[in-house]
Amino acid sequence: MKIQFFGAAGEVTGSRHSVQAFLGGHERRFIVDYGMFQGGREASLKNLEPLPFSPQEIDFIVLTHAHIDHSGLLPRLCAQGFTGPIYCTSATFELLKILLPDSAHLQFADVERAERKQKAGKWHGDMPVALYSREEVEMTLNQFEVIEYGQVVKPCEGVQLEFRNAGHILGSAIAILDIQETDSPVKRCVFSGDIGMKGRVLMPDPAVISEADVLLIESTYGDRLHRSLQETEDELVEVISSTMRGHGNVIIPAFAVGRTQEVLFLLIDLVRKGLLPHLSIWVDSPMATAATHLTEHFFSQLDQQSQATFAWFKDHPDAVSLRFIADVEESKALNKIKGGAVIISASGMCDAGRIVHHLANNLPYAQNAIVITGFQAYGSLGRRLVDKVPMVRLFGEEVLVKASIHTIGGLSAHADKAGLLDWLSGFKKPPKATFVVHGEPKAAAAFAASIRDELGWTHVQIPERLQTIQC
């Protein structure tokens, strides 16, 4: 059996791992995840690189979860000739129906904007390329085969596939593949996908896996520890209580899928515990609204505490006034609220979407608070706010930053170093081969060293991109 690492090797994005094996008398190939590379020019070039084999040679695809860095190039692969099934959980499939069309739309908008600027002589450098169209997304969605956690399927002779809950985002899965090569014993390959943080809101703890011959483990935060949930809650209570007392607004930029629902549950839970007063919360992002409804739909997949909070809210609907904004006019009406509102809106890094309007309206007043809950990439508006710039330019106008800016750590969909090591300690014996993927070089190296030092595992490697390893 051979594994080739096409992405998320020495970096966080572009997850895709190809497995080749001799099964039932045939050479077979399948791929786990087919994600987009994200961040800068180099990523764009890697997204355009063709595979060194024909997409028609791929028998099937296994998708661990809906995040674009794991799923985002599937429509391109299907457009290039891959016609086989793509296996994922039902919640992942529902999320993809929101995320993939949005990804196509964003690419199209990027190209349009660049073309406009080019015509005006204001665009220098490479033109962006749309990787696929809305129509190609629709065709791709027809290739999905939905299976549930714990269900075992046989995608082809000699392979059994099972998903277990990874506790990362709705629908996220650890993929367990039992591979029976001709004349060989069965090999169990475990692909961690992205592993969630134990004991956090919304998602259950990642499932414990006790056995693997070959393991691929993510390492996004393999070199650091998150702040505790308690600290995160204390910080939120402090900022929101004091802003409400001062009759200000609290603006929370949040990614539409995952983070918005996490923040929402946290706030409702704090009201339930009596730590926050009655709140007026507005969720102003169509994608966040759709993702929140999906979260309700998959209620039984949430962790116990969140189910309890949700049930309590159903019984006490007046404790929090929660409104989802549908149209742009309603969104603009929010501009008139001068205090007492909590507004959650996307994008999470403040670069686009309705959040920019809310920032333009609320940044100039000292009684308001901006609460940053997620990672802010260098160069983003969110990052500049975190870095406490005195002024930003929005919609072509200078806007003074008088509102207070708060960064709330501790909300992460990924396990930290301790969480990852804890998950690995569930294995009864070390896998014969462990590959550390999905981490920046420093995080991956530090985490590989921790696995060797703290768990005593010896066969631990950090694969390079495009490297092929015989297992």
Q: What is the dihedral of CA 330, 333, 337, 338, to 10 degrees?
A: 140
Q: What would the x/- binding string for Zn ion be over residues 191 to 230, using CB under 5 A?
A: ---x------------------------------------
Smallest gap, in angstroms, from Cβ of residue 86 to Zn ion? 17
Residue 259 in contact with Zn ion, rule: CB under 5 A: no
- Residue 230: burial class (beta carbons within 10 Å; 0-12, 13-18, 19+): exposed
Q: What's the rounded Cα separation, in Å, for the pair 398 and 105?
A: 29
Cα–Cα separations (whole angstroms), residue 130 to 44, 47, 70, 73: 10, 10, 18, 11
Q: Could you say which DSSP state residue 111 is in? A: H
Smallest gap, in angstroms, from Cβ of residue 413 to Zn ion? 6
Smallest gap, in angstroms, from Cβ of residue 194 to Zn ion? 4
Query: Which CB sits closer to Zn ion, 194 or 262?
Result: 194
From the list 19-27, 188-196, 330-338, 461-469, the region that binds Zn ion by CB under 5 A is: 188-196
- Please name which of 261, 246, 256 lies closest in space to residue 303, comparing C-alpha atoms: 261
Smallest gap, in angstroms, from Cβ of residue 318 to Zn ion? 36
From the list 59-67, 151-159, 206-214, 430-438, the region that binds Zn ion by CB under 5 A is: 59-67
Smallest gap, in angstroms, from Cβ of residue 233 to Zn ion? 24
Strand residue runs (E) in 167-230: 173-179, 187-191, 214-218
Query: Which CB sits closer to Zn ion, 220 or 362?
Result: 220
Smallest gap, in angstroms, from Cβ of residue 301 to Zn ion? 16
From the list 66-74, 265-273, 427-435, 444-452, the region that binds Zn ion by CB under 5 A is: 66-74
- Please name which of 85, 88, 96, 27 lies closest in space to residue 60, comparing C-alpha atoms: 85
Q: Which of 67, 259, 354, 357 binds Zn ion (CB under 5 A)?
A: 67
Residue 438 in contact with Zn ion, rule: CB under 5 A: no
Query: Which CB sits closer to Zn ion, 169 or 276?
Result: 169
For 238-263, b where at least 16 C-beta lie within 10 A, e where not — what string?
ebbeebbeeebbbbbbbbbbbbbbbb
Q: Are 202 and 306 in contact (CB under 8 A)?
A: yes
Smallest gap, in angstroms, from Cβ of residue 414 to Zn ion? 7
In the complex, the residues that contact Zn ion under the rule CB under 5 A are 67, 194
